[in-house]
Amino acid sequence: MVALAGPLLAGCERHDSATLGRIAEHAAGYALGGVAAHESERYLDHRNSGQSYERQLGGSQNIQHSGRMGLVFPETDALPNPRLTPGALNSAVTQTNLRETICRPGGYTRSIRPDEHYTENLKREGVRQYGYPQQMGKDAFMLRNYEEDHLISLELGGSPDSPRNLWPEPHHVIGGWGSYAKDKLENRLHSMVCRRRISLERAQHAIATNWIAAYKQYVGATPDQGRSHRYGG
């Protein structure tokens, strides 16, 4: 396999506001973009430096995996750009109505999840804004390398449709900090919020500011990349 001067090849798997009941952004609560942690600052440095991925990763590397071909990204791409994706909240979810919303029996997120056509269009635009590769094989192949993820997951009261809460999160990142690891954090924080072990606001702030740091605090030091059931991030 030939190493690329970009994300490395490896094996991998893979509105309307009226309809959603006027779900508003909760930007004033956190100023999330302004409190981005060190990894987010490194992301901006990486993007602004003009250096290639190969140079960021310390030279050519070969990564062998079985299965479909896909991309593996540098760790700086595990966190979203806080200027593009600071996070946004669903104003219908509050600490006082958890049992009627995200913690209700039978689930909640399916009732507010945006249409796939809407999120796919956002994903395409996000790939362009983030400067990710776009000219390698078919477009469908490229899009499979990302999940159009809610930074603050739906199960934690994140906005379903705000572009400020959605970004093309890579599935596979050097070190294991890809989308599947973030899924584990979302499930853990959801469980803690519903069991009243952590406040909704604290969980939202932790995952929006630096989800890797939150993972290490609430899940463990080593990322789990296995796919699992999700409540609906």
Q: What is the tens place of the pLDDT at every residue in 21-61?
A: 333 343 333 334 333 334 444 444 444 443 333 334 332 23
Q: Where are the alpha helices (DSSP H) in 68-178?
A: 116-129, 139-143
Mean pLDDT of the chain: 76
Rounded Cα distance, 155 and 46, in Å? 31
Confidence (pLDDT) at 71 = 85
Rounded Cα distance, 227 and 169, in Å? 15
Q: What is the tens place of the pLDDT at every residue in 130-183?
A: 998 765 545 666 788 899 999 999 999 999 999 999 999 999 999 999 999 999
Confidence (pLDDT) at 48 = 46
In the chain, domain spans:
8-218
Rounded Cα distance, 8 and 135, in Å? 14
Average pLDDT for 199-219: 98
pLDDT at 190 over 90: yes
Nearest to 14 by CA among 185, 196, 171: 171
pLDDT at 107 over 80: yes
Nearest to 151 by CA among 135, 139, 138, 168: 168
